[in-house]
């Protein structure tokens, strides 16, 4: 298992993997990785659990050079880590998502927002736990946010604007492993418009219906991930829309809310991948 | 400070005044604690 921070999720995964196979823990900040030279003389499968997107993608690439089955592989991890790439792959597959526009200048961002209608969601393409996501109420706010992002430079200069979905104060997190949905929970907002667990959203168990399951599994296939946390929102008119596909999903709150042993499902899948 | 025996390298331990330390293990399994570098922009799910 390749990881950077040992959260409760990584401890649970380590325990489940130890019970099924010989486990090598690779703490990425502590040691270099050698391309083509697996640690311990050989690795059949590698589970990537780095919180940092770039550590996850690069360590997954190194693990592929070892000839290991990598969960998740580097290209799908990158696609899942970039919200714009994810949405493009979902759109291509015909999976419903919130309407979105991309702009490359503050002026074009204001035009895009006007087309989507206010309030509008202004997200960084790479970023997590809702950081730097903004809800803009008018063109002045959009221009101001865009100008600040231009000053930040790099990927922040890609202005990714999404329609604001009037969801019922919650979203649905579905954990998918190996082509099936294994658990689901609603994440209920404590009051704001964001429903990230890291922002204080509360997890409550959800009964997964066929439509949500089909969309979540289809989203994983579109992005190419084997293990993921898929976030869906309920639009009052269009039904479920897929918001995000997380390639290194957190599942602590969901496990505690539903009682489903997500770590065991992931460990079983990784061991299976090592054998096929 | 108390650190669990089963602590993994990379596990975070909170100390007084909000200081967060990261568990590291030496070749003989000995535990050392280093200040945690913090959350970067590309961190998270």
Q: Do B9 and A54 touch (CB under 8 A)?
A: no
Q: Do B44 and A14 touch (CB under 8 A)?
A: no
- The whole-angstrom separation of Cα A68 and Cα A42 is 8
Interface confidence: ipTM more than 0.85:
no
Q: What mean pLDDT is predicted for residues A24-53?
A: 95
- pLDDT band of residue A127 (cuts 50, 70, 90) is confident
**Residue A130, pLDDT score:** 77
* Alpha helical stretches, state H, chain A: 8-18, 53-65, 74-81, 83-92, 106-116, 139-152, 210-223, 252-258, 262-275
- Concatenating the DSSP letter of every residue in A223-263 gives HT-SEEEEEEEEETTTEEEEEEEESS---HHHHHHH---HH
- The whole-angstrom separation of Cα A87 and Cα A95 is 9
In total, chain A counts a number of residues equal to 276
- pLDDT band of residue A192 (cuts 50, 70, 90) is confident
The answer to whether A127 faces chain B, any CB pair under 8 Å, is yes
Please state, for a pLDDT cut of 70, what percent of chain A lies above it. Answer: 100
Q: Do A30 and B12 touch (CB under 8 A)?
A: no
Chain A: closest CA distance from residue B40 (Å): 8
For residue A134, CA distances in Å to A18, A45, A113, A121, A145 come to 42, 39, 12, 6, 8
- The whole-angstrom separation of Cα A116 and Cα A35 is 46
Q: pLDDT digits over A79-113, tens only?
A: 999 999 999 999 999 999 999 999 999 999 999 99
Q: What's the whole-number average pLDDT of chain A?
A: 95
Instruction: Indicate the pTM of the whole model.
Output: 0.93
Q: pLDDT digits over B1-45, tens only?
A: 888 888 999 999 988 887 889 999 888 888 999 988 777 778 877
Cis peptide before A72 (omega within 30 of 0): yes
Torsion angle in degrees (nearest 10) through CA of A26, A28, A31, A32: 110
């Amino acid at each position: 298992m390749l990881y950077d921070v040992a959260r409760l999720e990584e401890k649970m995964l380590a325990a489940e993997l130890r019970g099924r196979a010989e486990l090598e823990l690779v703490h990425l900040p502590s040691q270099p990785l050698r391309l083509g030279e697996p640690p311990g003389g050989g690795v059949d499968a590698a589970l990537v659990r780095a919180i940092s997107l770039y550590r996850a993608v690069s360590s997954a690439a190194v693990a592929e050079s070892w000839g290991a089955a990598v969960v998740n592989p580097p290209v799908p991890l990158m696609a899942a880590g970039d919200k714009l790439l994810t949405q493009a792959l979902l759109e291509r597959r015909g999976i419903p998502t919130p309407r979105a526009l991309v702009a490359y200048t503050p002026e074009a961002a204001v035009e895009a927002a006007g087309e989507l209608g206010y309030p509008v969601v202004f997200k960084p393409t790479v970023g997590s736990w809702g950081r730097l996501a903004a809800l803009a109420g008018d063109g002045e706010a959009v221009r101001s946010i865009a100008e600040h992002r231009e000053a930040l430079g790099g990927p922040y200069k890609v202005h990714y604007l999404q329609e604001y979905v009037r969801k019922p104060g919650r979203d649905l997190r579905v954990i998918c492993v190996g082509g099936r949905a294994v658990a689901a929970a609603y994440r209920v907002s404590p009051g704001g418009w964001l429903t990230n667990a890291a922002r204080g959203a509360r997890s409550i168990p959800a009964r997964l219906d066929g439509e949500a399951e089909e969309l979540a599994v289809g989203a994983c296939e579109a992005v190419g991930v084997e293990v993921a946390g898929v976030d869906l929102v309920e639009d009052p008119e269009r039904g479920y829309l897929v918001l995000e596909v997380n390639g290194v999903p957190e599942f602590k709150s969901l496990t505690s809310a539903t009682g489903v042993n997500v770590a065991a499902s992931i460990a079983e899948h990784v061991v299976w991948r090592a054998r096929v | 400070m108390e650190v669990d025996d089963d602590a993994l390298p990379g596990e975070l331990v909170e100390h007084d005044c909000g200081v967060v330390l990261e568990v590291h293990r030496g070749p003989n399994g000995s535990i050392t604690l280093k200040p945690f570098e913090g959350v970067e922009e590309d961190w998270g799910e």
